[in-house]
Chain A
Amino acid sequence: MLRGAVGICGFLLLWECAVQLGAVSAQQLCPPSQVAAAFFTKLADPRPDGATLGAHFIASSSVALGGFLLACLIGLPLGLAMGYYQPVYLLANPIFELLRPIPPIAWIPIVTLLLGIGAQARIFIIFLSAVVPCVINAYTGIRHVPERYIHVGQSLGMSRWRIFTKICIPCALPTLFVGVRLSLNTAWTALVAAEMMASVRGLGYMIQMGRLLIQPDIIITGMLTIGSTGALMSALLSLIEKRLTKWGAER
């Protein structure tokens, strides 16, 4: 742990010196001190792109979480149903497999043309990217339920629906969570892409503006904010996951 701190400090020091001593042009890279200054300024200052850091952050997070929650609400039940009911799988899988290889950013142009550049368009793009891990992991989770568990349910005379809800879903919960975590990650990445290309607010837009106005301190502030928010959300999700699946993975 101590070594890590030393490593990071060394890195920051090197960075600071490289710029201050002129090894790297100040136009292209700004020292960490300047980044820190920009961070604190931007918290309250709406210049140069029209909104404070906080406003951008809220715009980004709300859109990302909106798309993410929508993806979970639709993707998880769909994946679970696909794993359990064969007709659902046969109907949904071809379309899913057809659309899956298309990366989320490739959807941005078509969605922008059809829905504009408002928040709904971005939520939809995020939904399209975040729904994939939800479906896949929910499906895999159900497929990996050991057959003997279902056999137990069946010999107890449980209906198919009851077996699904009382045995299959609890058993699949850890895999579901892996999917949800992946989905959150994907949602956040898709958000940044959508904001960089089709938005007038948000952290992605902020760093785009930073480039156009040649302000590396804004760019780096934005990048670090994006990175830490993503990490924080992931950590929170892991915490929830640990609580709900305290029974641990199967031996």
Chain B
Amino acid sequence: MSDAKVQVRQLTKGFGELLVLDNLTFDVRPGEFLCVVGPTGCGKTTLLNLLSSWWTPTQGEICIDGRAMDPKTQNLSFVFQESSAFPWLTVEQNVQFGMKEKRFPPELIAQRTREVMGLLDLESVKEKYCHEISASAEQRVVIGRSFALHPDFLLMDEPYAQLDIKFRLHLEDAILALNRSTGSTCLFVTHNIEEAVYLAQRCIVLSNKPTSIKAVRTIDLPYPRDTCSPEFIAIKDEITEMIKWW
């Protein structure tokens, strides 16, 4: 698909004799919210490390906007499971960090900071440091920092895995709102299938090691999704079955 924002072609990663990722090929459309699910230990972290250019693939390539992925010229963002908010900066400085590094004009930085902190409810704590706010607020700071860039490609690795359930639901809506308002292409990795079905427009199911793509499920339900609706539950069960058998 030439109109794909992100193209992953024959992505393979091995460590010596061990083959972790085997020939992954998929596209991500511009502004799409894509989820990746799979059994535990199926190489999701390896995939993320490759997609964020932390590691280089053994084979294959990753292209954004038709060119090879390059963090210096393109805007990439990564939200880790553990908080990666910088403790020596205030909330506001954290959110602005990426934009400042990419040398955005000051008015744009101010505008985007307001926009993102408003959506994530961070205005009230903007002068505080990380050790003074809660864990969920910290994760929101990181998410804010990532989205403020309006990144070409935003990766998230189970950002809510370590937070309370009540924060998860609220934050999931916030992420969807940010995805829509910034138009960023998002890839969200999770082992929580309900979360994946709630968020994704498409869902990639990975197999066990050596990991390949088991299936790609398009989820056509309208937002905001009702987790109790029969269609939702049907899709959730379908994906769960796919993972269980592998």
Contacts and interface: CB of A to CB of B under 8 A. Distances in A.
The reply to whether A and B meet directly (CB within 8 Å) is yes
B52 interface: yes
B87 interface: yes
A76 to B, nearest CB: 17
Interface stretch (B35-43, B74-82, B203-211): B74-82
Interface in A156-193: 156-158, 162, 166-167, 170-171, 173
Contact of B86 (A149, A154, A162, A251): A149
Nearest to B157: A148
Contacts of B78: 151-152, 155
A167 B86 contact: yes
B192 interface: no
24 contacts: A146-B82, A151-B78, A152-B78, A152-B84, A153-B101, A154-B52, A154-B54, A155-B53, A155-B76, A156-B71, A156-B98, A156-B101, A157-B71, A158-B101, A166-B101, A170-B88, A170-B89, A171-B86, A173-B88, A245-B88, A247-B130, A247-B131, A249-B87, A250-B130
Contacts of B88: 170-171, 173, 245, 247
Interface residues of B, number: 24
B52 A250 contact: no
B82 to A, nearest CB: 7
Contacts of B71: 154-157
B67 interface: no
A248 interface: yes
Interface of A: 146, 148-149, 151-158, 162, 166-167, 170-171, 173, 245-251
A148 B78 CA distance: 10
Interface of B: 52-54, 70-74, 76-78, 80, 82, 84, 86-89, 98, 101-102, 129-131
Given A155-B77, A156-B102, A157-B70, A247 B87 contact: yes
A155 B87 contact: no
| Listed residue (B80, B86, B89, B98) with the most chain A CB atoms within 10 angstroms of its CB | B86
A11 B87 CA distance: 46
B93 to A, nearest CB: 10
Contact of A157 (B54, B72, B82, B130): B72
Contacts of B53: 154-155
Contacts of A146: 82, 84
A148 B86 contact: no
| Listed residue (A151, A157, A162) with the most chain B CB atoms within 10 angstroms of its CB | A157
Nearest to B84: A148
Contacts of A162: 101
A148 B80 contact: yes
A245 B129 CA distance: 11
B129 to A, nearest CB: 4
